[in-house]
Amino acid sequence: MLLLNTKNQVLSVSEVYRGNVNTAVIRAGEVFRDAVKENCPSVIVVHNHPSGDPTPSSDDIKVTSQLFEAAKLLDIELLDHIVLAQGGFVSLKEQGKGFQ
């Protein structure tokens, strides 16, 4: 997770989870812990797909939606959820997935 200030400058990078080959179980409370502690107004969530294909999975979209709702309750703006892979990257925000 990228923790950002009011000018969307990176304050720090926080590793929240380290998954295994094909999964990572996450809790929104743990995802936003450092952002709340550091009083960050906005964040960007980033994760990788070891498969090399950055296409978001249905779980990625579901998690994004859950994080988007949790962020609103915490008054933190989730600016994007980026999926990185050897084949490039995908912005779930640009695709409109999970940000409703």
The pLDDT of residue 22: 63
| Sign of the dihedral through C-alpha 17, 56, 86, 8 | negative
Report the amino acid identity of residue 39.
Answer: N
The pLDDT of residue 19: 66
> pTM score, two decimals?
0.90
At the fourth CATH level, the homologous superfamily of domain 2-95 is: Cytidine Deaminase, domain 2 (3.40.140.10)
- The pLDDT tens digits for 57-98 are 999 999 999 999 999 999 999 999 999 999 899 999 999 999
Task: Please state, in angstroms and as integers, the Cα–Cα distance from residue 46 to each residue in 23, 38, following that order.
Answer: 14, 18
Rounded CA gap, 55 and 88, in Å?
A: 9
**Residue 24, helix vs strand vs coil:** coil
74: CB partners within 8 A, 6+ apart: 32, 35, 36
